[in-house]
A and B are shown apart, each in its own frame.
Chain A
Amino acid sequence: MIIYRLSQPVLLDFVSSLYRSIALAVSLRLRHRTRHIGFFISLKHSPLCSLTLSVTRRFTMVRQHATKLAVEIISSHSGDLVAKVCGCLLQHGTLSLQEIVRFTDMMGSNVKNCLFVLIQHNCVQAFSTPRKGSSDKTMTQYMAIFDNIINRMRFSKFLSIVKGDLGPEAEALFEGLLQNGRLTFEQLVERSISKEQHMDQAMRENHQSELRACFNNLVRWHYVEQCPRPEPFIDPDSEDQLKPTKRRGAMTVEQPPSIEQQAFEAATLAASERFSEISESSVESAEDGTGNHSSATGHKRKHETSQSDLDPVVSVTEKFWRANFEKLLYCLKTKICAENVRSRLGVDAGVVFEAIMEANTEQKVKDVIVSATLDRILDQLRDKPAGISMTLDHVRTILDELHCKQSTEKLEAIYSLDLNETLEACQNDEIEALVKARYGDQGYKIFRLLSTRGQLIETDRIAEFTFVEKKEAHQMLYRLWKDEYIESKKIQSQGSRDTANIFLWRLDRKAFSKTVIDDIFHAALNLTEKISQLVEKQHKILEDDMIKKLIQKKTILQLSLLKLDDSLLLFHDFSNYT
């Protein structure tokens, strides 16, 4: 939204050009977060133009709490210096090493070390771009991966998923990857062997083959993936990158991807490479230090002309592995949604829902439509104790209850399930509980009415539907509007003698989701602050009773944070509103 308030029209041209140049500069700087940015140019009070850049409150607040939470997580896991560099990247966007040094006032070597740590833990992705004025030289840029930082809160959940599906051995192996960010298989083996003190050569070899089988199982289940390319080369000025894409038949032209999106896509390996299992021969060759570079296991992935600031570590000739958060989040999505389906439609419906989710081939966390053939759904059901005794008719009835759409492709019945209904039901449970606690029964009823109708409703009608006094209904609607849960529209009704204002109210799911996400990030930040406070306190206290009490309270806070994270998953990770 751009507002010009001009008292001196002579300056209009000047201001327009000034605005354009500033807008360009700011949009370049904040390219990855250009939503809701507004400029307010005021010329009312000054002969010389005074220019104020105002970023809307909503946007800055969301970024502010989310950024602070991410910095807090990194600070508690890797220390304050690493958190400072991470915070700088989150705040300023993609930066080069020199820019980070300038913004943080830290020594170059310290910044390098911090970047090593962040890259090692998959919180930062490097990419190179052509250096200005030189066609053959490149410059390395670093971007923070916000979602991967937030995922660090969820390690216990991820471990529990792996343990449930593949057992404690796989869990131990997987834990190594979570603790160290990214490792080669050999490093994982060394880590495991170092824990076992008394092992001779034969036992070691046997143990290694067991670990390999276990590791391959993790890769097969897509819980572990090969790390992305360390430093892809991106040319933002190339015609292919800048060209806006237009889908066939689509009315709108899609915006060209940002440089960060391009880097992310360029770094991602093809699925066959990401999940290629390791063979015995590849491990041996890597152990000999002669890694087969021509094969998929060890080819150099760096851009040849790249001049990375972090060469000693980032230069990779081995296969590095890391946890695949996409798959793990998909598993959490399945678990949370299945719980909701079970509570609404019964235990069997929950089991069938899980089977569809697992049978779905494209397991992407943001996808809202999942589809699978009936055969694959039945296969998944047969693997479950609760699903083994279900008859085909019963499964079909449940698929109808879940509102699955049936189609036929190559003589196979395919069922498609729209997850929006279940996700909305989960989100509604969370938000309705919040509204009930914050605004009482009347607020709850009014909110539910607006939520179910999804259209503009007049105050009088709201009072009638909910059996609430009109005056109280209006007061409640005002409170909900003030807290940005609902939106209001005022219309004037022309009567015989005078005009009256009529207020209409509506719940905009997209807008209120942003308010809720902001509140969740804020609450999560407060919980982590409180946990840190208790940890500090724990170091100062000597009495056993008090320490026990502290640990107990800390557990309450940690469990609350884990529970709150489920809500964050629902509104931030699973939803397309963000």
Chain B
Amino acid sequence: MSTPEPSRKRARPDPNSRLATAPVQALTERDKVLASIRSRGNRGIWLADIKRESEIPQNILQKQIKMLLATNLIKEVKDIRHKAKKVYMLSEFEPSEEITGGTWFSGGSLNTEVINDVKKRCKQQITVLKAATADMIWKGMKRSDANLIYTLQQIGDVLEALVLDKEVEEVKSTGKGDFVNVPAGKVCYRTVQKSSGARTGALASIPCGVCPRLRDCTPDGVISPRNCEYYKKWLGADLF
């Protein structure tokens, strides 16, 4: 049996050996990617971080990610902090509040419908109770809805937002009148008492108040009160 002469050409890869090694290589890359993703748990990992940790070239990494997504081993989630960056995590994990933004976010953006609904329910409780602490409002909501998913802290956040909207006001209880159910000195919420005596904005009710060019306006300039378009709209163009 003669030994074959060594060929000058580059040895053609053995089809059998290629078949044998390819899955091993692919498995390694896939494992590296999966290990990176798994290491971050429910906080997810950015594509750039996977690349840095696994040291896999971009094109191969993209392929692996695609394969893993196709096999439902991983999923892509939106990070509300960095919407342009792609974040991946294992399919069995639920994304953390850090990424989703918490209860008030859905699909990476604010869920205004849910927020407005909770605001409405809070206001209803305040109207019924006249003046109530956050705890009283939360308990009242729980009584009317046994499946309430919101925590006391979350209801407190919504109440703070209602105060900023000036729909309810934060006051200290005196223990008398409307505050009879709230111990004196405790911080509570009540509906804003809108009275006819409250001042309306003087500057906001004239064109200059909302004029975007007020800083460029001078009596003798190109933009001046004498030729102001906003004044014409306000008082009627036929007079000027």
Check B197 against A523 for contact (C-beta < 8 Å).
Answer: no
How far is the CB of B104 from the nearest CB of chain A, in Å? Answer: 7
Q: Is B187's beta carbon under 8 Å from chain A?
A: no
Using a CB–CB cutoff of 8 Å, the interface residues on chain B facing chain A are: 80-81, 104, 109-110, 112, 115, 157, 160-161, 164-166, 174, 176, 193, 195-206, 208-210, 214, 217, 219, 224-226, 228, 231, 235-236, 238-240
How far is the CB of A267 from the nearest CB of chain B, in Å? Answer: 33
Check B209 against A342 for contact (C-beta < 8 Å).
Answer: no
Check B161 against A529 for contact (C-beta < 8 Å).
Answer: no
Interface residues of A in 542-569 (CB under 8 A from B): 546, 549-550, 553, 556-557, 560, 563-564, 566-567
Cross-chain contact of B161 among A342, A346, A466 (Cβ < 8 A): A466
Contacts of A429 in B (CB 8 A): 198-201
Check B202 against A566 for contact (C-beta < 8 Å).
Answer: yes
A452 to B166, CA, bound (A): 12
- For B115, the closest partner residue in chain A by CB is A467
Check A549 against B209 for contact (C-beta < 8 Å).
Answer: no
Check A529 against B226 for contact (C-beta < 8 Å).
Answer: yes
Check B206 against A564 for contact (C-beta < 8 Å).
Answer: yes
Check A434 against B209 for contact (C-beta < 8 Å).
Answer: yes
- Count how many chain A residues have C-beta atoms less than 8 Å from C-beta atoms of the other chain: 59
Contacts of A452 in B (CB 8 A): 164
Check A437 against B204 for contact (C-beta < 8 Å).
Answer: yes
How far is the CB of A319 from the nearest CB of chain B, in Å? Answer: 39
How far is the CB of A417 from the nearest CB of chain B, in Å? Answer: 18
Check B206 against A527 for contact (C-beta < 8 Å).
Answer: yes
A525 to B226, CA, bound (A): 11
Contacts of B240 in A (CB 8 A): 533
A567 to B208, CA, bound (A): 14
Q: Is A300's beta carbon under 8 Å from chain B?
A: no
Q: Is A476's beta carbon under 8 Å from chain B?
A: no
Check B205 against A560 for contact (C-beta < 8 Å).
Answer: yes
By Cβ-Cβ distance, the 6 closest A-B pairs, closest first, are A433-B201, A523-B208, A526-B225, A343-B197, A437-B204, A343-B195
A533 to B210, CA, bound (A): 22
A467 to B104, CA, bound (A): 8
Q: Is A112's beta carbon under 8 Å from chain B?
A: no
Cross-chain contact of A553 among B202, B205, B236 (Cβ < 8 A): B236
Contacts of B81 in A (CB 8 A): 460, 470
Contacts of B199 in A (CB 8 A): 336, 339-340, 343, 426, 429-430, 433, 566
Q: Is the interface of A mostly helix, strand, loop or mixed?
A: helix
The answer to whether residues A434 and B203 also contact, given A467-B161, A526-B208, A526-B217 and a CB cut-off of 8 A, is: yes
Cross-chain contact of B197 among A342, A469, A525, A563 (Cβ < 8 A): A342
By CB atoms of chain A within 10 A, which of B81, B160, B198, B200 has the most?
B198
The answer to whether residues A342 and B195 also contact, given A430-B203, A434-B204, A467-B110 and a CB cut-off of 8 A, is: yes
Contacts of B157 in A (CB 8 A): 464-465
A339 to B208, CA, bound (A): 25
Check A525 against B204 for contact (C-beta < 8 Å).
Answer: no
- For A472, the closest partner residue in chain B by CB is B110
Q: What 0/1 pattern do residues 338 to 356 of A give for CB contact below 8 A with B?
A: 0110111010001000000
Q: Is A530's beta carbon under 8 Å from chain B?
A: yes
Contacts of A529 in B (CB 8 A): 219, 224-226
A438 to B210, CA, bound (A): 5
A426 to B202, CA, bound (A): 12
Contacts of A401 in B (CB 8 A): 174
Contacts of B214 in A (CB 8 A): 519, 522-523
Contacts of A436 in B (CB 8 A): 201, 204
How far is the CB of A425 from the nearest CB of chain B, in Å? Answer: 9
How far is the CB of A294 from the nearest CB of chain B, in Å? Answer: 51
Check B203 against A519 for contact (C-beta < 8 Å).
Answer: yes
Q: Is A213's beta carbon under 8 Å from chain B?
A: no
Check B110 against A567 for contact (C-beta < 8 Å).
Answer: no
How far is the CB of A435 from the nearest CB of chain B, in Å? Answer: 8
A431 to B209, CA, bound (A): 10
- For B80, the closest partner residue in chain A by CB is A470
Q: Is A445's beta carbon under 8 Å from chain B?
A: yes
Contacts of B201 in A (CB 8 A): 429-434, 436-437, 567
Check A564 against B203 for contact (C-beta < 8 Å).
Answer: yes
Cross-chain contact of A530 among B110, B165, B193, B226 (Cβ < 8 A): B226
Cross-chain contact of B198 among A343, A470, A550, A556 (Cβ < 8 A): A343
Contacts of A560 in B (CB 8 A): 202, 205-206
Check A567 against B239 for contact (C-beta < 8 Å).
Answer: no
Cross-chain contact of B239 among A342, A400, A553 (Cβ < 8 A): A553
A574 to B224, CA, bound (A): 30
- For A541, the closest partner residue in chain B by CB is B239
Q: Is A382's beta carbon under 8 Å from chain B?
A: no
Q: Is A31's beta carbon under 8 Å from chain B?
A: no
Contacts of B238 in A (CB 8 A): 549
Contacts of A77 in B (CB 8 A): none
Check A344 against B193 for contact (C-beta < 8 Å).
Answer: yes
A400 to B110, CA, bound (A): 42
By CB atoms of chain A within 10 A, which of B193, B195, B240 has the most?
B195
Contacts of B225 in A (CB 8 A): 525-527, 529-530, 533
Contacts of B197 in A (CB 8 A): 339-340, 342-343, 350
A466 to B154, CA, bound (A): 13
By CB atoms of chain A within 10 A, which of B174, B196, B209, B228 has the most?
B209
> Could you list 7 A-B pairs, sorted by A, with CB under 8 Å?
A441-B165, A465-B161, A467-B104, A467-B115, A522-B208, A523-B206, A530-B231
How far is the CB of B154 from the nearest CB of chain A, in Å? Answer: 11
Contacts of A448 in B (CB 8 A): 164, 166
Contacts of A400 in B (CB 8 A): 174
Cross-chain contact of A433 among B80, B174, B204 (Cβ < 8 A): B204
Q: Is A159's beta carbon under 8 Å from chain B?
A: no
Contacts of A102 in B (CB 8 A): none
A550 to B104, CA, bound (A): 54
The answer to whether residues A519 and B208 also contact, given A339-B199, A553-B239, A556-B235 and a CB cut-off of 8 A, is: yes
Contacts of B198 in A (CB 8 A): 340, 343, 429
Check A553 against B166 for contact (C-beta < 8 Å).
Answer: no
The answer to whether residues A438 and B235 also contact, given A467-B161, A519-B214, A526-B225 and a CB cut-off of 8 A, is: no
